[in-house]
Structure 1
């Protein structure tokens, strides 16, 4: 049997962990103004991506997830014609809220978080 060995990753600095958390939590700007859930992570990531590789990776992850959520929300809006879009949109909003909070907490702990069901467009 072969054993897989993982190379321990260096723990990001407190400042890097904090900015990675902000990348995820910037999505809550969508509650304030339209497209804020996309613009918030994009702006934080663009400003701080060169600071630390952890911030860069988590910023991309946050942005990719918010793009995926926006596309799924557009599909839900289209499905509102056949009524199923209403409960799907509420479920999507709840899932996005919970996953964003989990991602922000994990990033603040220095653990890289990968969103499930995320289409990774930004590499």
Structure 2
């Protein structure tokens, strides 16, 4: 049974809102259940589904980048803090002035 114009607009809108709440599941359900009954609903649910798939790919890429770049970078910063802190401690123990190789001298 075809959708009325009001139902068509409603399901078109809900496919976008469903994407906000349920990611790909919302627009997919609207597309599968109501898409065959109305061209506008099919168009809008397909558009929303494609956008949610695009976002999902972006989330996956961002997660991979986080694990490949950000976490190792954090480890490098931690190791630098450890190494330069030990070097500063050793220099101070000898009575020598130590300056860190990189430092924001915010306090004078």
Q: Under a length normalisation based on structure 1, what TM-score does the superposition of the two structures give?
A: 0.50
Question: In the aligned structure 1, how far is the partner of 2:41 from the partner of 2:30?
Answer: 9
Partner residue in 1 for 2:5: 13
Bigger proportion of residues as helix: 2
Provide structure 2 residue ranges, at least 5 long, that are not aligned to the other structure. 71-108
Partner residue in 1 for 2:47: 61
Relative contact order: is structure 1 or structure 2 higher (C-alpha 8 Å, sep ≥ 6)? 1
Provide structure 1 residue ranges, at least 5 long, that are not aligned to the other structure. 1-11, 30-35, 84-123
Q: 1:14: how far off?
A: 1.9
Partners of 1:42 and 1:59 within 8 A in 2: yes
Question: In the aligned structure 2, how far is the partner of 1:64 from the partner of 1:76?
Answer: 18
Question: In the aligned structure 2, how far is the partner of 1:28 from the partner of 1:68?
Answer: 13
CA RMSD of aligned residues (A): 1.5
Structure 1 outlier segments of 4+, above 2 Å: none
Computing the radius of gyration from Cα coordinates, the structure with the larger value is: 2
Question: In the aligned structure 2, how far is the partner of 1:27 from the partner of 1:65?
Answer: 9
Partners of 1:16 and 1:51 within 8 A in 2: no
Structural mapping, 1:97-112, within 5 Å: none
Q: Under a length normalisation based on structure 2, what TM-score does the superposition of the two structures give?
A: 0.56
Question: In the aligned structure 1, how far is the partner of 2:20 from the partner of 2:48?
Answer: 11
- Name the count of aligned residue pairs: 66
Structural mapping, 1:33-112, within 5 Å: 36-81=22-67, 82-83=69-70
